C-alpha cells in the first residue's frame, strides 16, 4: 500500500497550476471569505522578540505559533471543519506524498486527525482544485 493511499484525504488532479503557494492561499482565503464563511491562515513555528529588561539586560522571548505540520488554512464552511494544505504545483503535491521528512510526516498526521474527527482534509494546488474538492465534500455529506 502506498503512502498516498494511507492518507484519508480528498485529492484530485487538475491541469490548472498557477502562482506561488502564497498566491494560491490568498485566493482560497479570498474565495472563502467572499462566500461569507470563516477561515484563518495558520503560521507554524516560532518568532522571537528581543527586549531589554528593567536591569538593562537584553533578552529574547519566544512566541510559539501553530503546531508544526498544521494545515495552511482552517475554515468552517457550511458547518463543516476544513483543514486545507496548499502545495504550489501538482508535481510538488505528488512529491509530498512520497516524502518521509519530519515536516511532511507531521502535516500528514494533522490531516489524518482532522479526517478521523469528522472534518474535511484537503490537499490542493489551485483555487479551482479547492473549489471542486470542497463542493464534492459538501455534496457527499448532505
Cβ contact 4:11 at 8 Å: yes
pLDDT at site 98:
74
pLDDT tens for 83-124 read: 999 988 777 777 777 777 666 888 889 999 999 999 999 999
Cβ contact 139:130 at 8 Å: no
Average per-residue pLDDT in the chain?
83
CA dihedral 69, 103, 124, 14 (to 10 degrees): -170
Residue 131 CB neighbours (<10 A):
14
Whole-number Cα distances in Å, 60 to 49, 51, 112: 5, 6, 35
pLDDT tens for 18-56 read: 578 888 999 999 999 999 999 999 988 778 888 899 999
Nearest to 72 by CA among 125, 132, 7, 1: 125
Q: How far apart are CA 30 and CA 52, in angstroms?
A: 39
Amino acid at each position: 500500500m502506498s503512502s498516498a493511499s494511507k492518507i484519508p484525504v480528498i485529492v484530485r488532479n487538475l491541469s490548472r497550476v498557477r502562482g506561488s503557494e502564497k498566491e494560491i492561499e490568498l485566493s482560497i482565503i479570498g474565495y472563502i471569505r467572499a462566500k461569507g464563511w470563516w477561515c484563518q491562515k495558520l503560521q507554524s513555528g516560532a518568532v522571537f522578540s528581543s527586549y531589554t529588561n528593567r536591569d538593562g539586560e537584553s533578552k529574547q522571548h519566544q512566541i510559539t505559533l501553530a503546531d508544526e505540520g498544521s494545515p495552511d488554512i482552517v475554515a468552517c464552511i457550511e458547518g463543516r471543519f476544513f483543514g486545507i494544505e496548499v502545495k504550489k504545483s501538482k508535481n510538488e503535491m505528488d512529491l509530498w506524498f512520497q516524502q518521509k521528512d519530519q515536516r511532511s510526516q507531521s502535516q500528514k498526521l494533522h490531516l489524518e486527525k482532522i479526517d478521523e474527527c469528522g472534518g474535511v482534509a484537503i490537499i490542493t494546488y489551485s483555487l479551482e482544485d479547492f473549489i471542486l474538492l470542497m463542493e464534492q465534500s459538501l455534496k457527499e455529506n448532505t
